[in-house]
Amino acid sequence: MVERETEAGTVSEIKGAVHKELKHDSAHKHVSGDAIYIDDMPEPKDMLHIYAAMSEHAHARITAMDLGAVKAAKGVVCVITAEDIPGHNDVSPFAGDDPLFADGLVEYIGQPIFAVAATSIEAARAAAKLAQVDYEALPALTTIDAALEAGSAIEPMQTMGQGNATAALEASPNRLTGSFRIGGQDHFYLEGQIAFAKPEEDGDVHVFSSTQHPSEVQHLVAHVLGTPTNAVTVEVRRMGGGFGGKETHPAMFAAMAALVAVKTGRPAKLRLDRDDDMIMTGKRHDFRYDYDVGFDDEGRITGMAIEMASRCGRSTDLSPAINDRAMFHADNCYYLSDVEIKSHRLKTHTVSNTAFRGFGGPQGMLGIECVMDEIAHHLGKDPLQVRRVNLYGGESRNTTPFGMTVEDNIAPALLDALAESAEYERRRAGVRAFNAKSPYLKKGIALTLVKFGISFTTTHLNQAGALVHVYADGSVHLNHGGTEMGQGLFVKVAQVVAEEFQIDVDRIKITATTTAKVPNTSATAASSGSDLNGMAALDAARKIKARLTEFAAKKYDCPKDRVTFRNNNVYVENKEIPFADLAREAYLGRVSLSATGFYKTPKIHYDRSRHKGRPFLYFCYGAAVSEVLIDTLTGEYKVERVDILHDTGRSLNPAIDKGQIEGGFIQGMGWLTTEELVYDEDGRLRTHAPSTYKIPACSDRPEHLNIELYKKGRNVEATIHRSKAVGEPPFMLANSVFLAIADAVSAAGDYKTRATLNAPATPEEVLKAVMSVKRQAKN
Ligand code: MTE
Ligand code: MOS
């Protein structure tokens, strides 16, 4: 309980109420090393270590595989291939096209072909090298362009739009076309993929998996083992980061560990090292973005055709929904009356790309933000003016290309507030003045916006469950289907329960997610973890509270509305009963103090065949101004200052939300600046360790990074305590860094041409663009 001074005198309130800044429940354990990850769990003495052997070819038939020497190697206990699978050889989320082990055909370098279980990981790894595998190489498609040309896709091209783009483009007074590339991104979670399986009685198995989606891992392990789902329990206390990379991929590793455990009767662990993790697991989709835009002399878009093509890799995975989300965000905050969006989902002989923070949204959104700057340059206007005239607003300008009405548009207000607080106009003039005097160092500045839709666009996934127990001593056990990956979901849901019972948050035990407590859950993804699980936990807590209220009213003979919960006590009329005492009395009175809770998101619907509907309950908004300094002789740059204004509604926990905004922004900055995935001609990833793949370091954090929550923020929809999701939207605030770099590059050619940058804007890419604008300025 904490005391608080108010005008009415001192009132006490519970510790950890909603809307209060509270540190992450495991923060101290994260830094001290006391937080237990799967690899920290004590290893049983007969435990086996698993190594998965990988394909060396991007596309080939396996003509022969002799594993005799592998099986005979020192320390090896068992070797498993496709033939050893008792159930189905598939670990795909829905499409049925992700074999656990290649069965005669390999389709990417890194595809598992068999696994070795041995007494040590060194022995398993050494044994795998003894395999004799004969391949017959087949032609491989490894790039977007090659797949597009060959018509190789994981599903047919999708189209979304409204109005008549072709006619509108023809009638437009101004018109621009362009094309650029957007790179992929490795998740680089600190804890790599890992699974630990323990055999149980009757062929059952208990799997500890670093997964955002325990129910799917459970389902797929059962599918591979050929058992009913109830033979498999999946548990995860926390992940050392997921970022979307642990939405579908963990099933593969969990299934291998479970197979070995069931087959040998010994516990088994599979932990990938960093190189293998980067080679074997899918990433953010890289895109090619082509546009044709028409606009009036104010820069208002009058017609637009967008064509996006993404590299999905060898299988379907979540690529349909990811590419749909790219289309859903191709408008960002801007009204497009006449637009056609085409989206190609290409099948290539590279690892199957997957969910990554923003789920395709960042790629779609970066496209139109770049187009805004192209239009501004063409008209000689400040890009902010062009953004302003294109904003959604008013009844005739509020329908998205997918037919949803934008009802909660705060983008104009956010833009104005940030432009003022960050002194955008004064600083833009300052940048121009600096550049006029500085021949080699150039500055750039950009303000970009974010509008991000919240809900799974696959409607049925928007459901969640929770389980709450109140013990007879008044302490509470909280469980729900959401998973903790560092984002602070667990503490937020605990705050919701603390608020409802009006007890201090430290009386609530946060517990590991397990399929044995809450069944049939969705992945913790789409930023909706706290929206969904917060509501489900609230539902459970309310059920118990209603029973306690009824019990107290009866026992103390008063109307139910005279029973209130406040400050760790229950008040019955004027009688004060500590919460713990009432819990004991209720137990003795034979009242059930355990309840499940459930929630499903209202209002949403979507017709995918027409790409029309209301896929989102609401939108999250944010805005950022970034200022950068580039060295035109080397292409190196520094992000000097960033100002962010972001809306999290009535934040459940402003401290956690600010952390998410900072982390998301920096991760987005990495995607657009230093993180470059390089595949060679054979489709082999050449950047599979921190030596060649550079994520942002502490020293890359902008020296001035001002993050403010939008103070008037309040969700117009009845979400949990009127909060808004925060996990993914801030990622796209980094678009401002990319456009600030492009602005600085343009300065190198005296703003005569605008730099068309491909992402990531590595120093090499920046230098190329500088040379190009300089050349064009001379002509
Ligand atoms: N924050 C941390 N620290 N670690 C993560 O892995 N994943 C992000 C985001 N923030 C992630 C994170 C992604 S991709 C999503 S979808 C959300 O958190 C998921 O959690 P939420 O729904 O509870 O916000
Ligand atoms: Mo996040 S990409 O939805 O896991």
Q: Would you name the residues annotated as active-site residues?
A: 728
- The one-letter code for the residue type at 353 is N
Q: Is the CB of 604 under 6 A from ligand 1?
A: no
Q: Is the CB of 324 under 6 A from ligand 2?
A: no
| pLDDT, tens digit (0-9, with 9 covering 90-100), for 217-245 | 999 999 999 999 999 999 999 999 999 99
Q: What is residue 779's predicted lDDT score, i.e. its pLDDT?
A: 79
In the 8-state DSSP scheme, what is residue 334?
B
Q: Which of 60, 757, 23 is nearest to 369 (CA)?
A: 757
Whose atoms come closest to the Cα of 248: which ligand? 2
Q: Is the CB of 282 under 6 A from ligand 1?
A: no
Task: Specify the pTM.
Answer: 0.97
Per residue, what are the HEC states of 16-72?
Answer: CCCCCCCCCCCHHHHHHCCCCCHHHCCCCCCCEEEEEEECCCCCEEEEEEECHHHHH
Q: Could you tell me if 53 and 531 are in contact, meaning their C-beta atoms sit under 8 angstroms apart?
A: no
Whose atoms come closest to the Cα of 322: which ligand? 2
| Ligand 1 centroid distance, CA of 284 (Å) | 15
**Among 359, 454, 616, 726, which residue has the most ligand 2 atoms within 8 Å of its CB, making it the best to mutate?**
359
Whose atoms come closest to the Cα of 727: which ligand? 1
| Ligand 1 centroid distance, CA of 727 (Å) | 5
Q: Which of 174, 412, 449, 396 is nearest to 301 (CA)?
A: 174
| Ligand 2 centroid distance, CA of 760 (Å) | 21
| SS3 at position 602 | coil
Q: Could you tell me if 245 and 121 are in contact, meaning their C-beta atoms sit under 8 angstroms apart?
A: no
Q: Could you tell me if 506 and 495 are in contact, meaning their C-beta atoms sit under 8 angstroms apart?
A: no
**Among 37, 354, 357, which residue has the most ligand 1 atoms within 8 Å of its CB, making it the best to mutate?**
357
Q: Is the CB of 524 under 6 A from ligand 1?
A: yes
Q: Is the CB of 465 under 6 A from ligand 1?
A: no
Report which protein residue has its CA nearest ligand 1's atom 8.
243
Whose atoms come closest to the Cα of 26: which ligand? 1
Q: Work out whether strand 441-454 and strand 575-578 pair parallel, antiparallel, or are unpaired.
A: unpaired
As beta bridge partners, residue 80 has 115
Tokens of 559: 């109307």
Q: What is residue 330's predicted lDDT score, i.e. its pLDDT?
A: 98
Whose atoms come closest to the Cα of 24: which ligand? 1
- State the CB neighbour count (10 A cutoff) for residue 4: 8
Relative to the CA of 482, which ligand 1 atom is closest?
23
| Ligand 2 centroid distance, CA of 285 (Å) | 13
Q: What is the DSSP string of 664-692?
A: HHHHHHHHHTT----B-TTS-BS--STTT
As beta bridge partners, residue 303 has 294
Q: Which of 390, 376, 177 is nearest to 292 (CA)?
A: 177
Q: What is residue 395's predicted lDDT score, i.e. its pLDDT?
A: 83
Contacts of 192 (CB under 8 A, 6+ apart): 271, 272, 273, 274, 277
Q: Is the CB of 189 under 6 A from ligand 2?
A: no
Q: Is the CB of 760 under 6 A from ligand 2?
A: no
| SS3 at position 520 | coil
Relative to the CA of 358, which ligand 1 atom is closest?
14
| SS3 at position 582 | helix
Q: What is residue 13's predicted lDDT score, i.e. its pLDDT?
A: 87
Q: Is the CB of 526 under 6 A from ligand 2?
A: yes
| Ligand 2 centroid distance, CA of 244 (Å) | 4
| Ligand 1 centroid distance, CA of 247 (Å) | 11
Question: Which parts of the chain have pLDDT scores under 70?
Answer: 1-12
- For residues 250 and 282, give the distance between their C-alpha atoms in angstroms, rounded to a whole number: 11
**Among 353, 728, 731, 732, which residue has the most ligand 2 atoms within 8 Å of its CB, making it the best to mutate?**
728
Q: What is the DSSP string of 468-485?
A: EEE-TTS-EEEEES---S
Q: Is the CB of 359 under 6 A from ligand 2?
A: yes
- For residues 528 and 755, give the distance between their C-alpha atoms in angstroms, rounded to a whole number: 37
| Ligand 2 centroid distance, CA of 280 (Å) | 19
Q: What is residue 2's predicted lDDT score, i.e. its pLDDT?
A: 56
